[in-house]
């Protein structure tokens, strides 16, 4: 295929994904998302047969975590895993490790208390004007750091048609809800027809102003975002898509094209990134991820400190590391690449921003700030405005 540099002047920053053990799969199959879903790695030991050497820790963890959180890895995402590097950032997100079996006393099954604020099954209504609508436990890849591992991957938590109708009815009866976040699991695990049924009914509610769809398929199975799917989503504007890239390795040509399809359907894209120890707890890694995302027309939206979900202990890093990364972003790269660092407060406290302190002094007439290079600057305030 010839690269159209007029249409895609930055595409050369995005190399095609390596296919690893799947290099002999014919292109038409590889690009077919149904094939990708059907051929997911569901048993870690199956990687042996594909010539992918597992570590002793990965083997033990596969058994130890079997009943807690299943394994699913698309061939596409498996192709991004480095067989020779157990510390590969994609591998760490996809393969279980024994760290998942360790827990601190403060670890929680439902760290954000989503089940507590659930007036009807599948709807979390905590904030005044918006709801989270859980529609599917399935995802292309089950991320080992998932915050909802208490139910994601468990088919028993699937929402049947009645439950989904009940969720839509709840929104219809609550005129204060102006923002519906359709999530899971991954809503794009549904067929276009099934997802469109939900979006159409939600969009038909007059007081719903915006719809958001949370999906990781641009990262884990980008072929899912066909132009037709993007056009379907675009029929329900204003509709926003939040995806979840965590590392530059995930920013492939295929991911770029998936995001391009969404952007060309007029869909604003955002990216919450989760700081994960060993994966991206490094300022240069986060900076480059965010720069690549901007070229993909995805706005970095939040950086989360990894929450207190049970089984995530080994992924967590410190508050200080988060601040260090924020200091390394602000001023050193485009402001668009500098999102909020937040703690999603355990127990349902909501997102609390954490900011490095750039204010050095404050008195009745001025604020003294220190900028990203460490130089001091004085900002004088108006004298005729009452200070609080
Ligand atoms: S795609 Fe999202 S919901 Fe699914 S396993 Fe990954 S983090 Fe969890």
In a domain, 164, yes or no: yes
The span from the CA of 30 to the CA of 388, in Å, is 61
Helices (H) then strands (E): counts for the chain: 13, 12
In a domain, 118, yes or no: no
The residues annotated as belonging to the active site are 126-127, 130, 139, 143, 146, 148, 307, 344, 351
- Contact indicator for 128, 176 with CB cutoff of 8 Å: yes
Are 320 and 202 found together in one domain? yes
219 pocket-lining for ligand 1 (C-beta < 6 Å): no
Nearest CA to ligand 1 atom 5: 142
Are 156 and 234 found together in one domain? yes
pLDDT value at residue 385: 85
Q: Identify the segments of the chain with pLDDT beneath 70.
A: 1-6, 387-388
In a domain, 6, yes or no: no
- Contact indicator for 274, 304 with CB cutoff of 8 Å: yes
Are 162 and 247 found together in one domain? yes
The span from the CA of 231 to the CA of 228, in Å, is 5
pLDDT value at residue 1: 44
274 pocket-lining for ligand 1 (C-beta < 6 Å): no
Cα dihedral 108/109/111/114 (nearest 10):
-150
pLDDT value at residue 112: 86
Ligand 1 nearest atom to the CA of residue 153, by list position: 5
The span from the CA of 350 to the CA of 18, in Å, is 38
pLDDT value at residue 77: 98
User: Where residue 270 sits, what CATH number does that domain have?
Assistant: 3.20.20.70
Residue written as token pair 């508050």: 319
What is the domain count for the chain?
Answer: 3
CA of 139 to the centre of ligand 1 (A): 6
In a domain, 80, yes or no: yes
Are 23 and 88 found together in one domain? yes
pLDDT value at residue 7: 75
Are 256 and 240 found together in one domain? yes
pLDDT value at residue 73: 98
pLDDT value at residue 343: 95
DSSP 326-371: HHHHBTTB-GGG--EEEEEETTTTEEEE-----EEEE-SSEEEEE-
Are 89 and 135 found together in one domain? no
Q: What is the pTM (predicted TM-score) of this model? A: 0.96
185 pocket-lining for ligand 1 (C-beta < 6 Å): yes
**Residue 76 DSSP code:** H
DSSP 204-262: TSTT--EEEEE--HHHH-GGG--HHHHHHHHTT-SEEEE----SGGG--HHHHHHHHHH
pLDDT value at residue 111: 87
pLDDT value at residue 155: 86
pLDDT value at residue 2: 45
Which helix (H) or strand (E) segment holds residue 94: the answer is helix 89-94
Range of the domain at 258: 123-352
């Amino acid at each position: 295929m010839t690269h159209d540099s007029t249409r895609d002047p930055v595409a050369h920053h995005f190399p095609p994904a390596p296919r690893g053990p799947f290099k002999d799969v014919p292109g038409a199959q590889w690009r077919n998302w149904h094939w990708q879903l059907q051929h997911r790695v569901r048993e870690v030991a199956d990687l042996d047969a594909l010539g992918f050497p597992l570590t002793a820790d990965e083997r033990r963890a596969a058994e130890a975590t079997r009943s807690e959180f299943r394994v699913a890895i698309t061939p596409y995402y498996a192709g991004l895993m480095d067989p020779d590097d157990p510390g590969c950032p994609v591998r760490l997100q996809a393969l279980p490790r024994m760290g998942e079996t360790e827990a601190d006393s403060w670890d929680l099954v439902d760290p954000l208390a989503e089940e507590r604020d659930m007036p009807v099954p599948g709807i979390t209504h905590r904030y005044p004007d918006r709801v989270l609508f859980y529609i599917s436990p399935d995802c292309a890849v089950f991320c080992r750091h998932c915050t909802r591992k208490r139910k994601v991957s468990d088919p028993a938590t699937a929402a049947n048609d009645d439950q989904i109708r009940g969720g839509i009815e709840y929104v219809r009866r609550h005129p204060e809800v102006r923002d519906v976040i359709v999530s899971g699991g991954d809503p794009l695990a549904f067929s276009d027809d099934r997802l469109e049924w939900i979006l159409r009914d939600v969009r038909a509610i007059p007081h719903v102003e915006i719809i958001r769809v949370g999906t990781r398929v641009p990262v884990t199975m980008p072929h899912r975002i066909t132009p037709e799917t993007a056009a379907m989503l675009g029929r329900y504007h204003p509709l926003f898509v939040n995806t979840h890239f965590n590392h530059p390795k995930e920013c492939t040509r295929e991911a770029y094209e998936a995001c391009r399809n969404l952007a060309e359907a007029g869909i604003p894209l955002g990216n919450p990134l989760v700081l994960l120890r060993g994966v991206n707890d490094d300022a240069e890694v986060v900076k480059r991820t965010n720069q690549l995302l901007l070229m993909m027309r995805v706005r970095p939206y939040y950086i989360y400190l990894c929450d207190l979900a049970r089984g995530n202990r080994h992924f967590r890093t410190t508050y200080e590391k988060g601040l260090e990364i924020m200091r390394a972003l602000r001023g050193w790269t485009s402001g668009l690449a500098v999102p909020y660092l937040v703690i999603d407060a355990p127990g349902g406290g909501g997102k609390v921003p954490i900011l490095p302190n750039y204010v050095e002094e404050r008195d009745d007439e001025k604020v003294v700030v220190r900028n990203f290079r460490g130089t001091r600057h004085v900002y004088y305030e108006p004298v005729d405005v009452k200070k609080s």
